[in-house]
Structure 1
Amino acid sequence: MSTSHELLWSIGELAERAGATVKTVRFYSDQGLLPEAARSSGGHRRYGPQALERLRMIRSLRSLDLPLPEIRRILEDEDAAGRALENAVDSRLRELGNELKALRWREAALQLVRECPPAQRPGRLRLLGALNTPPSTAPLARFWRTWLPPRMPRLATAAFLEAAVPEPPDEPHPSQALAFARLHAMTTAPCPGGLQPQPDVHRAAGAGGAALLYAGLVEAFDLAAPHLRRAHDPRPGEALDAYVAAYASAYRSRDTHEFRRLLAARLSADPRLDRYWELTAVVLTPPGSSPQPTPGSADDWLRAALQRDNAQAA
């Protein structure tokens, strides 16, 4: 190679110029990441300015905690270096986000243990210890899949799960962490006598009717949510009409005054999951904030609106 002697450095000289250790330079050389310009008569490595630039780049990338395989791709593919670096940084940012979220959940769990009375700590430790960090929503989704009618279409199930399963917050307050742990315990505990009791409409609707029912309910809950946020009293209107229409489609009926009266009676006899929705509201609402609407609170509001509408029609 034609590089002049004045521009060649020993491994120690390169390390000194880069502010690195000889061990670090030797490691990257052995990994094939640092180009050698030449060898001395005694077989010692000699490096030129290109190696210094490469070493500085490697150390900068390592300071971002990028793994060596990613660094190799960035260095070796000059045409795609920008894209490779962007992808590597994005990937590492996602990993760090998950790590930070896990640390915040552990912090909230530790605060919950520290703040609870000593006699309650063993139970609270068991409750919190059952959670992954960060926690997974998979147990909650499985719970709802056993509740929903069998053979419901995949898209209809996914739409309902999106509304019914709360995402764990990235920075949980201890109260939110405790509520999510209780949700996890509730949805993973064995149900006495088998599965949760099913609403009457599940038996009447079948798979196709259930898809129409839950698509309509999600729409009705969305329409009711602004009323809940503004603390409006339950009232007839577009949200209630969508709610009744969802049940009418499931029962293969029409929206009449008589149907609304019968629907109110059927709904009052159906099993409830009030505790689930109470805990969901805590998970979704940081302390000091207005409660976030949930399908449960929207359903309560709509049932009350139905009762009011029936009373006015009587």
Structure 2
Amino acid sequence: MGCDGGTIPKRHELVKGPKKVEKVDKDAELVAQWNYCALSQEILRRPIVACELGRLYNKDAVIEFLLDKSAEKALGKAASHIKSIKNVTELKLSDNPAWEGGRGNTKGDRHDDLQRARFICPVVGLEMNGRHRFCFLRCCGCVFSERALKEIKADVCHTCGAAFLEDDVIVLNGTKEDVETLKKRMEERRLRAKLEKKTKKPKAAESVSKPGVLEDSAGPSNVKAGKPEEMGPDPREKKAASAPRGAAASGNSCGKAGKPPSGALKRSIADSEESETYKSIFTTHSSAKRSKEECAHWVTHTSYCF
């Protein structure tokens, strides 16, 4: 039994079996993870940042994503856990002196070694190409290989000397298990931060209200603790004492001006406490009282007399 032209079909051409699972090229996957931004799919360029799950991004792409969170962006799923710029850490990377980049093969007549990385571990010297596990510290952003952590065990960063905890170590581009553990740590860390904010708010409100209470309670205690000599007079007595002084001052000022206010008591200048020179101005002074003999006779002259 054949087809037209005398061809005989085989079994695999007639019967369709199960589809073969497409295998992802590991080399291509490593190149995409370590050389391209997980958000914009562009080549990584400084400044490079990493999230709490260990993914690499361009800082410009993260800022654009935070400013424009549109639902149309399909690539936004890779950064859905980034809520603010504080959720990413800027990395301090060490350049690989053996990496030439695009300068060595401008004509395209040479083979590009994709396994050669742009950055290396500053402690051990391993290249950051995905063949070796790398990590960074959230506290300072320094990047080095996991082998450096195991061989040189310390609680201080190997490059900058900053102290760190085990929770601050984040694996870059780790496996699914690593991502799950990092996700749990991230959720726990954010819950702790929310609880700390809630506890700080009532404490701040109490600290604002306490100074007012202390000021009110400090008044009576200071009065009681003071000596009887240092204690001031009663405010009512102060008012009573200030009233006559004010009246006397107004009387003196009115006496000098010669115009006593309406309703004020009349008193002679002779009884006042002013100086004798001031009293001699007025007719009530003893110097102004002259006898008739001392007084001159005033004669009026007219023009008709001359």
Question: Which structure has the greater CA radius of gyration?
Answer: 2
Higher RCO, 1 or 2 (CA under 8 Å, sep at least 6)? 1
Q: Which has the higher strand share?
A: 2
TM-based fold match above 0.5: no
TM-score normalised by L of structure 2: 0.23
Q: Which has the higher helix share?
A: 1
TM-score normalised by L of structure 1: 0.22
